[in-house]
Amino acid sequence: MKILIARMNHETNTFSPVATPLAAFGCNGPNHGEDALNENKGMQTAMAAFIDAAEREHAGIVTPISASANPSGPVEAAAYDAICDAIVAAATGCDAVMLDLHGAMVAENSNDGEGDLLERVRAALPNAPIAVALDLHGNVTQKMIDNADVIVSFKTYPHVDMYETGAHAARLLFDLIHGKAKPLIAWRQPPLLTHTLRSATAEGAMKRAVEAARAAEADGMLAVSVLSGFSLADIEAPCISVVVVSNGEREQAEAVAERIARQIWNDREDFVYRSAPLAESVAQAAALAHGADKPVLLLDHGDNCMSGGTCDTMDLLEEALKQKLEGIVSGPLCDPQAVAALMAAGVGSTVTVTIGNKVASSAVIPRPPVAVTGVVRALTDGEYVISGPTYTGQRAFMGRAAVLDTGTVKLVMTERTHEPWDLGVFESVGIDPRRARFLLLKSRMYCRPVFVPIAAALVECDSRGVTSSDYGLFKFEHVKRPVFPLDAQTEWAPTNEAS
């Protein structure tokens, strides 16, 4: 048996001005062949689980590509074609396919990145079973449903079950191959744009939906996935979905999908996040710091690179300085020009540079860069190894990194947008984040498993960036209307088809 295993991960924010060329995938482009296998082998990705499952079956493994990029703007057409072409070209002679996909890719030449890829793979291998692992924030389409035999998504956010999801999908694929199961997919998609901050699986309506999915699996369904969708994509339906895989039982699968989708629709208000004014959030953080012996986290979720943020909006830092907060550690701020200036000046130099607010976007009002003066404390290559629990063991690349110390704030600046997955973001440049009074992180959720344990409190701060929770900032032109919460009076009646 010969199995095609590949990874194509990108969550596309169509409002983001951050470009997505082929070089954005990986350190400087995707890995191919043996390098693609080695990049995932032993890691906590779905592709790693696929590899392990195929090896247990003593199957031949073909790994044409592993391509993963931080969320950003639409994928350049040449990059999308290169990734898809590599996967399709490798399909010849394969007996089965396992794909580690995100589910919310939009390219310059495709509004349905995963669906169009799966359609091509199915055309190349019409009789081969295809299993797909998806991110919880995938935007499911009919084309994806039509061209896969097994679909399973993450059940955690922050995502700490990527490997487990791949293992689940692989198990169902091999059960199909060995005649132990006949996977059949049903799905529903209510017209609901969820907020990412309401898709955390440890609380609220999303927790209840995932619990319902797990209960349905315990009651006999092969897999039940709740995908909250990624709403900052101006496509037809960037909405929440329920995907059910049954063992050949169409009626039961449809009933489960409909029941959970109806539960979600009844809970729709709980999937909406309404931000406090930024000044109010910073004042709250200041109050929480009184008497605290640990840092207070201020999460700048309006400029979060893991949703396509530029990582260069200065709203939160400016407000913190305006309210005279001290003992601040902030970052990573993406500003290649400032990094270059600090590199040229050298460690120990006192410099004045303009930082941030340099990447223009149609979604936010332009603001001038901010001039700051400080001492260059560190200059590094910006690389470190993630300690976990997300992407454990993988090497992270921030581009070159520099630390500017103004006396009030230690600012970590990088050449690339970067999520603070790990204390290594700061420790790799000589900063102990535990010693800060305030930690200003450009993050929404992924920092929490690592930074919450070292913090006294957490405050969510919504800057006017391209990942803001204020949908009023964004001009949705292609989303099918009506849709909640853009249209408050939206109604929905489940049917036997997704709607």
- Which pLDDT score is estimated for 51? 98
Q: Are 429 and 403 in contact (CB under 8 A)?
A: yes
Beta bridge partners of 246: 184
- Which pLDDT score is estimated for 463? 92
| For the chain, percent of residues with pLDDT exceeding 90 | 90
The DSSP code sequence of 8-73 is: EE--B-TT----B-GGGSTTTS-EEHHHHHHHHTTSSSHHHHHHHHHHHTT-EEE--EEEE--SBS
pLDDT in tens, 95-116: 999 999 999 999 999 999 999 9
- Which pLDDT score is estimated for 364? 76
| Closest residue by Cα to residue 406 from 335, 327, 340 | 327
Mean pLDDT of the 444-473 span: 93
- Which pLDDT score is estimated for 499? 37
pLDDT in tens, 226-280: 999 999 999 999 999 999 999 999 999 999 999 999 999 999 999 999 999 999 9
Which stretches of 313-472 are assigned E, i.e. beta strand? 328-334, 350-355, 370-380, 383-385, 395-397, 401-405, 409-414, 438-441, 457-461
- Which pLDDT score is estimated for 498? 44
Q: How many residues does the chain have?
A: 499
pLDDT band at 144 (very low <50, low <70, confident <90, very high): very high
- Which pLDDT score is estimated for 392? 80
Mean pLDDT of the 346-372 span: 91
Q: Are 135 and 169 in contact (CB under 8 A)?
A: no
Q: Are 50 and 100 in contact (CB under 8 A)?
A: yes
From CA 154, how far away is CA 223, in angstroms rounded?
A: 11
Confidence check: pLDDT of 496 > 60: no
Confidence check: pLDDT of 497 > 70: no
- Is 3.40.50.10350 the CATH classification of the domain at 2-271? yes
pLDDT band at 361 (very low <50, low <70, confident <90, very high): confident
Which stretches of 271-327 are assigned E, i.e. beta strand? 296-300
> What six digits make up the tokens of 295?
């840092």
Q: How many CB atoms lie within 10 A of CB 435?
A: 12
User: Which SS3 state, helix, strand or coil, does residue 171 take?
Assistant: helix
Maximum CA pair distance of the chain?
70
- Which pLDDT score is estimated for 28? 85
Confidence check: pLDDT of 334 > 90: yes
pLDDT band at 495 (very low <50, low <70, confident <90, very high): low
pLDDT band at 160 (very low <50, low <70, confident <90, very high): confident
**Between 284 and 363, the higher pLDDT residue:** 284
Q: Where are the domains of the chain?
A: 2-271, 278-468
Q: Are 327 and 438 in contact (CB under 8 A)?
A: yes
